[in-house]
Amino acid sequence: MRVVDLIRRKRDSGELTREEIAQLIAAYTKGEIPDYQMSAWLMAVVIRGMTHQETAALTEAMLRSGRVLDFSGLPGWKVDKHSTGGVGDKTSLVIAPIVAAGGLKVPMISGRGLGHTGGTLDKLESIPGFNVNLSLADFRRVLQTCGCALIGQTAEIAPADKKIYALRDVTGTVESPAQICASIMSKKLAEGINALVLDVKTGSGAFMKNIEDAANLAELLVETGKRMGKKVVALLTDMNQPLGRKVGSAMEVVESIDVLGGGGPADLRELCLELAAWMFYLGERVKTVDEGKKLSADLIASGQARVKFREIVGLQGGDVGVVDDPHRLAHARRTLDVTSSVDGFLASTECEQLGTACMVLGGGREKKDDTIDPAVGLEFHKRIGDPVERGEPLCTLHYNTEGKLEEARRLVETAYKIEREKPKTIPPLIHRVIGA
């Protein structure tokens, strides 16, 4: 294999074999191929694309670059959910305990927030003592004990992805569906799961603003997962406005506990029930998705899901008291309302701006190593289609320092589009299910 020949072939829209992709990724991970050759190849991939076969080969090569967990010794189906990221998306915190309470195993490896999006790990860490950095042995132990464990990416899992992502980030080669797919799927398939439910977000707060781009990615993810022998389904869900009413680490934990307790905002509850239902369905716990939805609702109503969440928190070193009294979580010292200057209806939101506003308040990260303030966040009072009166609060900013308050306020203020007429269409929560 001459690397330059592989680069030239992709440059000229040619296809690489499974073997060639495997060698390329293995050699790069071992440091045998310099960054400058890899980045030229990555740029050719971004512009020329990859076939489904190449994408599967890339995913497999990245998966095999590290350790692949094997939970076949544990009884029952292992299922997981992955979201492509959005604003206010705290479904993992709700779903994982529901599905574990329903008898499936959920070995969940999550990420941190970056830019306008939040991350499950940050939210969990707002619970005092909660340890997301379990060793793989402890991960297995917690999973075995309570049916679910939630940890962060470890160095043993798909190291090729980590190395390649760092290079993509600085060479303008992030925007490749094949690379995005391989990056997501290599890490998820390393979890040793049998089935995966994907939540692919689309809209103004998602990475994929355009629904067709999102659908294409969803299809690619499903196709790749199936080629790797997994049961996979993707829900194409709306991110034209935040999910739920709250954004910010601790505030999102509070809202998740609300849903586990039978309350919480309708949209968040509904999406959690749908996602959990698909996990039960793929994991053969139920015969239909509707049955899965009913099971999920029952597990909430009976309190079992909430008890499971408390069990997970306890096993991972967290303060279980917060499950009963969420106000023990950190909260910001001050609030500021952003109000409407006109009468009308909420027509749309620049949802990414709302996520960015939370980041600006200190609740998110601009760069990977930034630290975050778990207490700050945003509380939303209106959803698209809601009537709005002049002077009525649209959003409440929860903040600790004045430093960037004005910047955050301006971002929020300009994110809301109020119109005189009620909007004719309101975005559905779920646009499409792909791969069912």
Catalytic residue positions, numbered: 82, 161, 168, 183, 187
- List the one residue from 32, 135, 156, 172 that touches a second copy (CB under 8 A): 172
Tell me the C-alpha to C-alpha distance, in Å, between residue 218 and each of 152, 197, 215.
23, 11, 5
Q: Which is nearer to a second copy, 43 or 247 (CB)?
A: 43
Tell me the C-alpha to C-alpha distance, in Å, between residue 281 and each of 56, 192, 201.
25, 18, 21
Tokens of 285: 């716990």
Residues from 9 through 28 that contact a second copy (CB under 8 A): 11
- List the one residue from 25, 46, 79, 312 that touches a second copy (CB under 8 A): 46
Q: Which residues contact 355 (CB under 8 A, 6 or more apart)?
A: 86, 87, 115, 116, 117, 118, 205, 242, 247, 364
Q: Where are the beta strands (DSSP E) in 56-194?
A: 79-83, 106-110, 148-152
- List the one residue from 59, 110, 173, 256 that touches a second copy (CB under 8 A): 173
Residues from 250 through 279 that contact a second copy (CB under 8 A): none
Q: How far is CA 141 from the centre of its chain?
A: 24
140/324 Cα distance (integer angstroms): 27
Q: Residue-wise over 29-58: b if at least 16 C-beta within 10 A, else e?
A: beeebeeebbbbbbbbbbebebeebbbbbb
Binding part of the chain for a second copy, among 6-14, 70-78, 124-132, 263-271 by CB under 8 A, reads 6-14
Q: Which is nearer to a second copy, 49 or 393 (CB)?
A: 49
- List the one residue from 35, 270, 392, 413 that touches a second copy (CB under 8 A): 35
Show the binding pattern over residues 412-431: x = contacts a second copy (CB under 8 A), - = does not: --------------------
Closest CA to 15 of 51, 47, 46, 42: 51
Q: Which is nearer to a second copy, 35 or 284 (CB)?
A: 35
Q: Amino acid identity, residue 141?
A: R
Q: Which is nearer to a second copy, 38 or 132 (CB)?
A: 38
Question: Which residue shows structure tokens 């023990």?
Answer: 328
Does 8 engage in binding with a second copy (CB under 8 A)? yes
Q: Which is nearer to a second copy, 41 or 309 (CB)?
A: 41
- List the one residue from 47, 266, 301, 436 that touches a second copy (CB under 8 A): 47
- List the one residue from 21, 22, 25, 38 that touches a second copy (CB under 8 A): 38
Does 39 engage in binding with a second copy (CB under 8 A)? yes
Q: Which is nearer to a second copy, 172 or 263 (CB)?
A: 172
Closest CA to 87 of 244, 277, 314: 244
Minimum Å distance from CB 316 to a second copy?
37
Q: Answer yes or no: are the C-beta atoms of 81 and 196 closer than 8 Å.
A: yes
What number of chain residues touch a second copy (CB under 8 A)? Answer: 24
Binding part of the chain for a second copy, among 31-39, 267-275, 302-310, 334-342 by CB under 8 A, reads 31-39
Minimum Å distance from CB 36 to a second copy?
4
Question: Which residue shows structure tokens 């119109």?
Answer: 419
Tokens of 97: 């305990």
**Element (H or E) spanning 258, and its range?**
helix 249-260
Q: Which is nearer to a second copy, 11 or 141 (CB)?
A: 11
Does 160 engage in binding with a second copy (CB under 8 A)? no
Minimum Å distance from CB 73 to a second copy?
42
Binding part of the chain for a second copy, among 133-141, 153-161, 171-179, 396-404 by CB under 8 A, reads 171-179
